[in-house]
C-alpha cells in the first residue's frame, strides 16, 4: 500500500539518555520519512511518572540534534496533531477505553496484584506453556462487578484478546509471519489511575497522529500483534510495521553498557565527530552500497528504503567506529576541524585561546598536521602540548637522543645552524599579520606555497644539505632531533615540527637537550 502522506515517529520515554539503539530507531524513521517525502514526528511517552524527568527529555533532544536528526512535529516544534506528550492526552485514552468497554473489546479487571502474582507462580510451578493473566474477570456478571465496586476496588481495564485466532501478518523486514492469539493473555490497557500502558497509548496516538509506518526494535514484534488487534477493534487502519534486529556485541549477544558507550552524549563529550557516529549507526543493520561505507546524511536519505534493512542482528565494532571517525576527521577542512576541536583544546591548553585569536592560520596548520593521527576531536589536546611548552622527554625520546653517542653533539650543531639565520624568517616568530596557510604540509601531493617564511619543503632542503655537511646518515639524525623538539617519538615529521615551532624555539630546545647530562 502506498500512502499519499507518509508519517513516521520516534517515541522515546524520558527516563534516561538517548542510547545507541534508540538513536538508530530514530535515524531509520527519520531517513524513511525524508526518503518518502513524508513527516517525521517526535512523541514523548512520559507515562512512567516516577522515572520521567525534564532533564532526561532535554538530554534526548540534545542527542538527536547532535546527530543531525530534526523533527517536523513534536516538542519545541508543535504541530496540528498534538499534544505530543502522553500525559497531556489522558482524556483521549479514557475516552477510547470507554468506547472499547462499550463494544465488548475490553473489560474491567478487579484482580489484585497479589492474585496476579500468585497465578503466575502457580503457572510456573506447573510448568505451563502459558504464562499470563488467567481471564478471571473476563466474564464477570453485573452483580459480581457491582460487588467489587461497592467494596471500593478500582479496576484496571484489559483488552479482550480473541481466544483462538490465527493471524497472518506482514512485516516490512521480517516478511510474512503467522501467530495464534492463544499465546497472548488479556493485557492491561488502562491502570486504575487512568494512566495508559504502552500498547494502548501508542495505538491511540498513532491513530490520532495518522502514523503510516512504524520502524522499531524487534523486541516489539509481540506488542505489534496486540496493537494490530486494537487497531481492528477501533476500526482504524494499522500502520505498516517494520521490526529491526538487535544491536549485538562482538560475541553476538545483546549490546550493553559493559560493551561500549551507549549514551549518545558520551560520544559527543569525548569528541566523536557526529557525522561519523551517524554514519556508523546507520550501518548497524542497513547498507549504503557494496563498495562504500562512508556517506552523508543526504546520501542516506536518497538511498534509504525500509525494506532494505537486514533481518540479522548487527555487531557493534568500536574499532570500526573509530576508523570511521578518523575518515571524517581527515575529510574536514582545517578551519572547521580547529573550530570543532577548540572545546577540548582550551581546557588543557589555555594558550590555544590566544593562538586561535591572533595566529589562526598557524593553528590551522597544527591541526592539519594531526589530521592523519587522530580520530576524535578530544585526542588533539594531548598530542599538541609540546607546541606550547618545552616538553619533558619521555623514555622513548631519551632512547632516540642517546642511541648514537654523538647524538647530543648533532643537536648542538643543528642549533648553531638555526641560530645563524641561514633560512628566511621563521613561522611562527614572524607570523603576526600573516594569513597564508600552508595546508597539510606532510602530504607530498601538496603544491609548494610561495611565502616569506619557512615551509616544510624549504626546511627539508636546508636540513638535508646540513646533514650532508655534518657527514652522518640522515635517518640517524632525524630521530634524535625530533625527539628533542617534541619530547616523544610520535607525531608529525621533523620538517613539520620545525615548521610549526620556528627556528628560535627549535634552537633553544636543541641546546637544552644537548647540554643536559
Q: Which pLDDT does position 500 carry in this prediction?
A: 87
Please count the structural domains in the chain. 2
Parallel/antiparallel/unpaired status of strands 188-190 and 213-217? unpaired
**Greater confidence, 261 or 377?**
377
Does residue 460 lie in a domain region? yes
Report the CATH number at residue 141: 3.40.50.620
pLDDT of 280 over the 50 cut: yes
CATH number assigned to the domain comprising residue 422: 1.10.10.350
Identify the domain boundary among 195, 222, 244.
Answer: 244
Mutual orientation of helices 395-402 and 407-419 as an angle, nearest 10°?
90
Tell whether 343 and 239 lie within a shared domain.
no
Q: Is residue 321 part of a domain?
A: no
Q: Do residues 223 and 363 both lie within one domain? A: no
Q: Taking 50 as the threshold, does the pLDDT of residue 439 lie above it?
A: no
User: Does one domain contain both 354 and 501?
Assistant: yes
The per-residue pLDDT for range 476-496, each reduced to its tens digit, is: 999 999 999 999 998 899 998
Relative to beta strand 39-42, strand 7-10 is parallel
Is 448 among the domain residues?
yes
Longest CA–CA span in the chain (Å) reads 111
Distance from the first to the final alpha carbon of the chain? 82
The tens digit of pLDDT for each residue in 157-186 reads 999 999 889 999 999 999 999 999 999 999
Instruction: Supply the pLDDT for residue 34.
Output: 98
Query: In percent, how much of the chain has pLDDT > 90?
Result: 77
Catalytic-labelled residue, pool 257, 311, 403, 473: 257
Are 335 and 306 in contact, with CB atoms under 8 Å apart? no
Domain extent, residue 443, equals 334-517
Mean of pLDDT values over 48-76: 97
Q: Domain check: are 236 and 368 in the same one?
A: no
320 is catalytic: no
pLDDT at 441 (0 to 100): 43
Give domain status of residue 72, yes or no.
no
Instruction: Tell me what pLDDT residue 422 has.
Output: 65
Q: What are 179-224's pLDDT values in tens digits? A: 999 999 999 999 999 999 999 999 999 999 999 999 999 999 999 9
Are 75 and 84 in contact by the 8 Å Cβ rule? The answer is: yes
Task: Give me the mean pLDDT over the 494-512 stretch.
Answer: 90
Which residues lie below 8 Å from residue 281, measured CB to CB, with a gap of 6+?
20, 23, 24, 27, 67
Residue 136 in domain: yes
104 with 232, same domain: the answer is yes
- Residue 507 makes CB contacts below 8 A (sequence gap 6+) with 415, 416, 418, 419
Of the three residues 244, 271, 295, the one that is the final residue of a domain is: 244
Quick one: 202 and 344 in the same domain? Answer: no
Residue 496 within any structural domain of the chain: yes
> Is 237 found in the same domain as 350?
no
Instruction: Give the per-residue SS3 of 291-349.
Output: CECCCCHHHHHHHCCHHHCCCCCEECCHHHHHHHHHHHHHHCCHHHHHHHHHHHHHHHC
In the DSSP assignment, the letter for residue 236 is -
Task: Residue 495: name the closest of 444, 429, 425 by CA.
Answer: 444
With CA atoms as reference, report the closest residue to 423 among 471, 447, 470, 456.
456
**HSE (CB half, 13 Å, CA atoms) of 449?**
15
- Please choose, from the candidates 451, 410, 404, 408, the residue with its C-alpha nearest in 3D space to the C-alpha of residue 430: 451
Is residue 61 assigned to a domain? no
In which residue are the cell numbers 539503539 written? 21
pLDDT band at 504 (very low <50, low <70, confident <90, very high): confident
**244-273, pLDDT tens digit by residue?**
999 998 888 888 767 666 789 999 999 999
Omega before 382 within 30 of 0, i.e. cis: no
Tell me the average pLDDT across 372-387.
93
Q: What pLDDT score does 131 carry? A: 86
What lies within 8 Å, CB to CB, of 498 at 6+ separation is 454, 456, 459, 463, 485, 506
216 and 343 both lie in a single domain: no
115 C-beta neighbours (distance < 10 Å), count: 12
Separation in Å, CA 231 to CA 45, 181, 252, 329? 19, 15, 35, 48
How is residue 74 written as a grid cell? 513534536
Poorest-confidence range of 193-207, 366-380, 434-448?
Answer: 434-448
How much of the chain, in percent, has pLDDT values that exceed 70?
A: 92
pLDDT digits (tens, 9 = 90+) for 302-354: 999 999 999 999 999 999 999 999 999 999 999 999 999 999 988 878 777 77
Instruction: Say which residues have a Cβ less than 8 Å from residue 42's Cβ, sequence separation at least 6.
Output: 9, 10, 11, 64, 71, 73, 74, 75, 77, 84
pLDDT of residue 484: 96
Element (H, E) at 207: helix 198-208
Tell whether 440 is covered by a domain.
Answer: yes
470 contacts 481 by C-beta, under 8 angstroms = no
Domain end (from 228, 244, 260): 244
Amino acid at each position: 500500500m502506498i500512502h499519499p502522506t507518509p508519517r513516521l515517529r520516534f517515541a522515546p520515554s524520558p527516563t534516561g539518555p538517548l542510547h545507541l539503539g534508540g538513536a538508530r530507531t530514530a535515524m531509520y524513521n527519520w531517513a524513511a520519512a525524508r526518503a518518502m517525502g513524508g513527516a517525521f514526528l517526535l512523541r514523548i511517552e512520559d507515562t512512567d511518572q516516577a522515572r520521567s524527568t525534564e532533564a532526561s527529555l532535554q538530554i534526548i533532544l540534545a542527542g538527536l540534534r547532535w546527530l543531525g536528526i530534526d523533527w517536523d512535529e513534536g516538542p519545541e516544534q508543535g504541530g496540528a496533531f498534538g499534544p505530543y506528550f502522553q500525559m497531556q492526552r489522558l482524556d483521549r485514552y479514557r475516552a477510547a477505553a470507554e468506547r472499547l468497554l462499550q463494544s465488548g473489546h475490553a473489560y474491567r479487571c478487579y484482580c489484585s496484584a497479589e492474585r496476579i502474582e500468585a497465578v503466575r507462580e502457580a503457572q510456573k510451578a506447573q510448568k505451563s506453556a502459558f504464562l499470563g493473566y488467567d481471564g478471571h474477570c473476563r466474564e464477570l456478571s453485573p452483580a459480581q462487578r457491582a460487588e467489587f465496586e461497592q467494596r471500593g476496588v478500582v479496576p484496571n481495564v484489559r483488552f479482550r484478546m480473541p481466544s483462538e485466532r490465527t493471524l497472518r501478518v506482514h512485516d516490512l523486514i521480517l516478511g510474512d509471519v503467522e501467530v495464534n492469539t492463544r499465546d497472548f493473555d488479556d493485557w492491561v490497557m488502562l491502570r486504575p489511575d487512568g494512566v495508559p500502558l504502552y500498547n494502548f497509548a501508542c495505538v491511540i496516538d498513532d491513530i490520532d497522529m495518522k502514523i503510516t509506518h512504524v520502524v522499531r526494535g524487534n523486541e516489539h514484534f509481540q506488542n505489534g500483534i496486540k496493537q494490530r488487534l486494537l487497531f481492528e477493534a477501533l476500526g482504524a487502519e494499522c500502520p505498516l510495521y517494520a521490526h529491526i534486529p538487535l544491536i549485538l556485541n562482538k560475541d553476538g549477544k545483546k549490546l550493553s553498557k559493559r560493551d561500549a558507550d551507549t549514551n549518545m552524549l558520551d560520544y559527543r563529550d569525548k569528541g566523536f565527530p557526529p557525522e561519523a557516529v551517524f554514519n556508523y549507526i546507520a550501518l548497524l543493520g542497513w547498507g549504503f552500497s557494496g563498495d562504500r561505507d562512508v556517506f552523508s546524511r543526504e546520501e542516506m536519505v536518497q538511498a534509504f528504503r525500509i525494506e532494505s534493512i537486514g533481518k540479522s542482528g548487527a555487531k557493534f565494532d568500536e574499532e570500526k567506529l573509530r576508523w570511521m571517525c578518523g575518515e571524517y576527521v581527515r575529510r574536514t577542512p582545517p578551519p572547521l576541524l580547529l573550530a570543532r576541536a577548540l572545546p577540548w583544546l582550551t581546557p588543557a591548553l589555555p594558550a590555544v585561546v590566544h593562538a586561535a585569536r591572533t595566529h589562526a592560520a598557524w593553528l590551522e596548520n597544527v591541526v592539519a598536521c594531526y589530521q592523519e593521527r587522530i580520530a576524535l576531536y578530544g585526542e588533539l589536546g594531548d598530542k599538541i602540548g609540546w607546541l606550547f611548552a618545552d616538553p619533558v622527554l619521555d623514555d622513548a625520546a631519551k632512547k632516540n637522543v642517546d642511541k648514537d653517542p654523538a647524538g647530543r653533539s648533532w643537536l648542538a650543531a643543528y642549533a648553531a645552524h638555526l641560530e645563524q639565520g641561514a633560512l628566511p624568517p621563521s613561522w611562527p616568530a614572524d607570523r603576526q599579520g600573516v594569513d597564508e596557510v600552508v595546508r597539510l604540509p606532510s602530504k607530498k601531493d601538496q603544491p609548494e606555497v610561495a611565502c616569506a617564511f619557512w615551509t616544510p619543503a624549504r626546511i627539508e632542503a636546508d636540513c638535508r644539505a646540513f646533514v650532508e655537511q655534518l657527514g652522518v646518515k640522515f635517518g640517524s639524525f632525524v630521530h634524535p632531533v625530533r625527539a628533542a623538539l617534541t619530547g616523544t617519538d610520535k607525531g608529525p615529521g621533523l620538517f613539520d615540527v620545525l615548521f610549526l615551532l620556528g627556528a628560535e624555539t627549535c634552537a633553544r630546545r636543541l641546546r637544552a637537550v644537548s647540554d643536559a647530562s
